Structure 1
Amino acid sequence: MGRLGSAIMKQQQSSGPIDARGRIDAALAEVAAYQGQRQGQGRGGLLVLADTLADAERLVDAGATHFLIAPRGAGEVVLALRAAGALTERRSPEARAEGRGEAAALHRWLAGRLQAHQPCAAVAIALSRLDLVNAAHGRARADAAIATAGERIAAAAGERAIVVRTGDRFLLGVEDGDLRLLAAALSRALEVEGTRVMLGSRIGVAEAMPGDDADALIRRATDALDDARAPGAAAVQVAEADGVASPDRLAIDLHHAVAAGEIDVLFQPQVEIATGRIVGVEALARWTHGRLGPLGADALFAAADRADLGLALSDHIQELTLARAAAWPRSLGALRLSLNLTAADVARAGFARTFLDRVDASGFPRGRLTVEVTESGMIHELDHAAALLAELRGAGCRVAIDDFGTGYSSLAYLKALPLDYLKLDKALVVDIAGAPRDRVVVRGVIDIARALGIAVIAEGVETPAQLALLTAEGCGWYQGFLRAGPLGEDALVTMVEGR
């Protein structure tokens, strides 16, 4: 990095940069070492240079505060170094002493409510896009934006809350964990010195539970914030109670789960409404954890992503599912099998060929296989996803879009993707027997799908009233606990054979 000039070298000691291009693992270790050296000094600014946004996100999660993707020249690095260095400068001994005083006040506030058995929650907030604001408007306005965001947070939290700022983060003590006003306040642009500034935010919240003390409550809120900052995570994360395994703990356990045979597949029946016959099943992954018992696919894949095992887990589940289905007895020989593809699968180069080879090697017929993709897995890769699905469909598989109706571009997917089935998300189904507007929405989706020649499967059907309304609106198939939840193969055989 010496070639980037003396201006860079001048600030390098306090704020980086760490060059992660082509050496992401080594850079992650350097970031961790840097944060270890600064323990007790507050969060110092640290710039990293990365090849891709995914690498940058991993480095930010590890403790970097600013990043550049493939910088083109020294000027860009100098600008980012100034911003990172400014964060270190702001954490002067006096500022750190003030921060410790505010943190003590927050601790006392939470402790007092906990001792009085009054409801309360700790909230941790991280602001983002500050590097962009700094580059566009300068350091002074970036600092002013943080201060303005703090004022808005305090106003939304209310007079009885307590707010502590630590650099570009905030810790709050509030009377309850309802964050609707807070999230709404942070979603609006800020007015800073006559300029509209848009910051992003991530929020972690921990509601008080029996046995909590102030330290545990704050720790769970900051852990939840770390989860919210993970790639692909929701912007607001609610902490689990102590005793529930964290994603990091599950990620460690997952390394041993496959070898221990803890990963299994269950099959949920899909029913033809007109005849009541089971015509297919959806394969659903389950993790029978040694300590925690059965865990669903959400926890399983969240742990896999945290452990960088997402692709390996997806491969394992596909192979396991296909092998099991290929060995089904004659009574299940007419059922269709629906198998979920992850967003990472969709993004893989050459995945269609790899997947089809896997299907053929298992012996399961392509013509009875449906691949399911979710809306969230295609937001950034729509053209690529369309090409992949067209190739799989041309090879004999059928294609379904899962959880339909919960994303931002649902109609665009119907237009762009080669689909055989649309699966109505259970969030649409659950209220169909309630407000008339919900029924109108479901009716509209079904009408559009039928006009496009796409069959509709409703998910999450639990009551006869829901099924009756779906039937009246022209839905052809359903799955849900009204008929059966996910089943093992013996139970599935018994149900299909009518025993």
Structure 2
Amino acid sequence: MILKQGNAQRASELRETPVGFAFAAVSDDPRFEALVKLGWKFEAPSGALAGMPKIMLIDLRKKMPPKLGAIAKALETARGAFVAIISDSSKSAAAFEAGATQIVGEPFDIEMMDSALLLAGRQIERLARAGGRRGVESPSRSNKAMLDLEKPSGSIQSELSANPTALMLIGLKRFDAINAAFGRQTGDDLLVAVERRIASVAKEMSGGKAIVSRSGGTDFIVIPGPMGLSDRLALAERIVVQIERPFMAGDHFVALGASIGIVDTRAGDLESDVLRRAQVALTAARDDDVAVRVLSAQDEGTALFDAGLETDLRRALDNNEIDILFQPQVSVTNGQIVGVEALARWQHPQHGELGAETLFSVAERSDYLTALSAHVQRRAAMKAAAWPEVLQSLRLSVNVTAEDIARPGFADTFLAMIDETGFPRDRLTVEITENGLIDDLAAAAALLATLRASGCRVAIDDFGTGYSSLAYLKALPLDYLKIDKHLAQDITGTARDRIVVRGVIDMARSLGLAVIAEGVETEEQLTLLAREGCNYYQGFLCAVPLGVGALADLVTQRSLPSLSTIAAPR
């Protein structure tokens, strides 16, 4: 995602960042001088490697500069970063061989270069947290026998049976989006490249004793051999760093991410049991939005708890234990409630009220996701159709899953259900997450176009958690963009966090989309979001999800505007 900023304000904010990177350019391209106007401090190449970590822009479009290897080695020692400029993909291998952190290809503009510098700065910060060890030897310079990939399952079971050790389960981020964009063959090639990077760093740090294997899909297994906890964590961080380095996908450079779950093993453990526990740790890492998670007793208890919920879910659907609450959506400009999002709540007989996130997570694991989604959509529309008069100007937002999109004839079935409940289509907003859109972009676009043509509005939900691509936003018929709660809450963080949020809002507004921020909890967050141009918000600052009676009381207090004041731009 390319971020477009106002130069004066952005330069001021960048100078407030805690790292304070400077850059040096080994190039005669005059465009690089414009980076100074965006707030980057320029230093001559001769002084670029002294003091704090620095970033080097090195132009490889004409020829390899002399002493490139020495420059890269000095940057490694200084915990710096190297951004390479190339004319075409044929030079990418040489750039990565020399240790490039980011690569920018022609044609490029100053905003692309600015984004590359920001990403390089984040890479430096992650490397510092991982102990400052940058990169690994490429396969051409290391012992290729170490890259003994595709270990059979029997090798893993043999290792687990023989010695107490650990197992790391590595899950990729953003792979599905890249696979959808570039095709299966590119995706397969990318997985091979990922596995080689993992194997290289794992073998290096384990003295050649690590076992690396694909676990199926986009997950990878590493058994590091005899290694203490601190060394395992260092290895895991190094693996994340290596996966975050750009990869080639055809003629394009793509960026992946990773989460890692780590579990201890005991001699005689079964592979299936260890993998189950590792999956619990990996899921915890993803849920907590952290790179690495070591399995705890609490995590295992949570897994057992979830298994019991899966058994209970079918009964809950039959017994009508799943109800709907409504969370207000509020105009940033006048503070009035203009709509609500329908959120499921499970009144469990033993565990009390369980929220939508837990409910849908259980449904996904137990193959009841389609049934649950249909139940929630119908119940939300039925309750909204029976709202008292004070609520009858509110918009209702309901969620649609990726599985819904994949169902043949879903749009017709969904609209018929809405009509049966009596809720008007022109007050209905359909929300779908980024990941749901990316799975099949063409099918998603066709479905959303049908829903809009029928009178509904369409919102992309949880924006900022997935691919976050301007290209697919332009291709889809949308009315609203909902910023993920973690991204919205970041606006009170560092200057860089604010830049990212501003970039998302500017991008949405440039496409004529209204912006809704989720998870707003403080006046400070709301003030900063309003300053950046956010249109609506929802979160605990206004209210928790409410029943119909409490919602009616709140709307009465806030004096609801007419429907005409809240129409999203077309």
Question: What TM-score bracket applies, with the shorter chain setting the length?
Answer: 0.5 to 0.7
CA distance in 2, matches of 1:323, 1:224: 41
- Counterpart CA distance in 1 for 2:316 and 2:404 is 21
Pair 316,216 (structure 1): closer, same or farther in 2 beyond 3 Å: farther
Question: Pick from 424, 428, 439: which aligns with 1:380?
Answer: 439
Corresponding residue SS for 2:438: coil
Listed as ranges, the matches of 1:202-221 within 5 Å are 203-206=260-263
Whether 1:455 aligns to 2:504 is no
Match of 2:363 in 1: 304
Q: Which moved more, 1:298-307 or 1:392-401?
A: 298-307
2:447 maps to 1:398: no
User: TM-score with structure 1 length normalisation?
Assistant: 0.63
Which runs of no fewer than 5 residues in structure 1 stay unpaired? 1-82, 107-121, 137-141, 191-198
- Within a 5 Å distance, the mapping from 1:418-429 to structure 2 comes to 418-429=477-488
Describe the shift of the 1:470–1:166 C-alpha distance in structure 2 as closer, same or farther (beyond 3 A): closer
**Offset at residue 275 of structure 1 (A):** 1.3
Do the aligned partners of 2:277 and 2:300 also contact (CA within 8 Å) in 1?
no
* DSSP-derived class of the 1:274 partner: coil
Post-superposition offset of 1:405? 2.5
Paired letter, 1:406? T
Matched, 1:101 2:162: yes
Task: Report the Cα offset of residue 342 of structure 1.
Answer: 0.3
Counterpart of 1:278?
A: 337
Shift of 1:163: 6.1
Aligned equivalent of 2:497, options 418, 438, 449? 438
- Residue in structure 1 matching 2:353, options 294, 309, 314: 294
Number of corresponding residues: 369
8 Å CA contact retained: 1:164, 1:170: yes
* Among 229, 242, 247, the residue aligned to 1:175: 229
**Contact persistence 1:204–1:228 (CA under 8 A):** yes
Equivalence map 1:2-151=2 (5 Å): 87=152, 100-103=161-164, 106=165, 122-125=166-169
Name the CA distance, whole Å, in 2 between partners of 1:466 and 1:294. 28
SS of aligned partner of 2:318? coil
* Cα deviation, residue 449, structure 1: 2.3
Partner of 1:241: 299
Percent pairwise identity: 48
Task: Give the C-alpha shift of residue 314 in structure 1.
Answer: 0.7
Report deviation, 1:252: 1.8
Q: Which residue of 1 aligns with 2:146?
A: none
- Say if 2:317 is the partner of 1:258: yes
Report the CA distance shift for 1:373/1:102 in structure 2 as closer, same or farther (over 3 A): same
* Distance apart, 1:236 and its partner CA: 7.3
Counterpart pick for 2:534 among 475, 487, 490: 475
Letter aligned with residue 393 of structure 2:
A
Instruction: Name 1:5's counterpart in structure 2.
Output: none
Cα contact 2:161–2:270 (8 A) shared by 1: no
Distance in 2 between residues matched to 1:368 and 1:127, nearest whole Å: 40
Q: Give unmatched runs, 5+ long, in structure 2.
A: 1-148, 176-184, 216-220, 248-255, 559-570
Moved more, 255-264 or 375-384: 255-264
More displaced stretch, 278-287 vs 336-345: 278-287
Q: Is the contact made by 2:262 and 2:281 (CA closer than 8 Å) also made in structure 1?
A: no
What is the alpha-carbon distance in structure 1 between the residues aligned to residue 543 and residue 355 of structure 2?
16
Counterpart of 1:481, as a letter, is: F
Deviation at 1:321, TM superposition (A): 0.9
Answer with 319-328 or 244-253: which moved more: 244-253
Which one scores higher on RCO, CA 8 angstroms, separation ≥ 6?
A: 2
Q: Distance in 2 between matches of 1:317 and 1:381?
A: 23
Q: Does the CA-based 8 Å contact 1:124-1:222 persist in structure 2?
A: no
2:459–2:478 Cα contact (<8 Å) kept = yes
Q: Is the 8 A contact 1:99 1:165 kept in 2?
A: no
- Cα RMSD over matched residues? 4.3
1:345 is aligned with what amino acid?
Answer: D
Q: Residue deviations 1:195-214, cap 9 Å, x none?
A: xxxx9998533589xxxx99
1:152/1:322 Cα in 2 relative to 1: closer, same or farther (>3 Å)? same
Letter paired with 2:413: T
Aligned mates of 1:184, 1:334 — CA distance in 2: 50
Label 1:126 to 1:399 Cα distance change in 2 as closer, same or farther (>3 A): closer
Post-superposition shift, 1:265?
Answer: 1.6
CA contact (8 A) 1:264 1:286 kept: yes
- Cα 1:218–1:186 shift into 2, 3 Å: farther
Could you say which residue in structure 1 is the equivalent of 2:275? 222
Q: For 1:483, what is the secondary structure of its paired residue?
A: coil
Contact 2:516 2:535 in 1 (8 A): yes
CA separation in 1, counterparts of 2:516 and 2:171? 40
Q: Distance in 1 between matches of 2:375 and 2:309?
A: 18
* Secondary structure of 1:471 counterpart: helix
Aligned pair in 2 of structure 1 residues 477, 360: CA closer, same or farther (>3 Å)?
A: same
Question: Cα offset for 1:228?
Answer: 8.5
Native 8 Å contact 2:162 2:267 kept in 1: no
Kept after mapping to 1: 8 A contact 2:263/2:281: no
Asked whether the equivalents of residues 206 and 220 of structure 1 are also in contact (C-alpha less than 8 Å), the reply is no
Q: Which amino acid aligns with 1:222?
A: L
Query: Following the alignment from structure 1 to structure 2, what is the Cα–Cα distance between the partners of residues 379 and 258?
Result: 29
Of the three residues 311, 315, 328, the one matched with 1:269 is: 328
Q: CA deviation at 1:307?
A: 1.5
Partner residue of 1:63? none
Q: Which residue of 1 aligns with 2:13?
A: none
CA contact 1:124–1:171 (8 Å) conserved in 2: yes
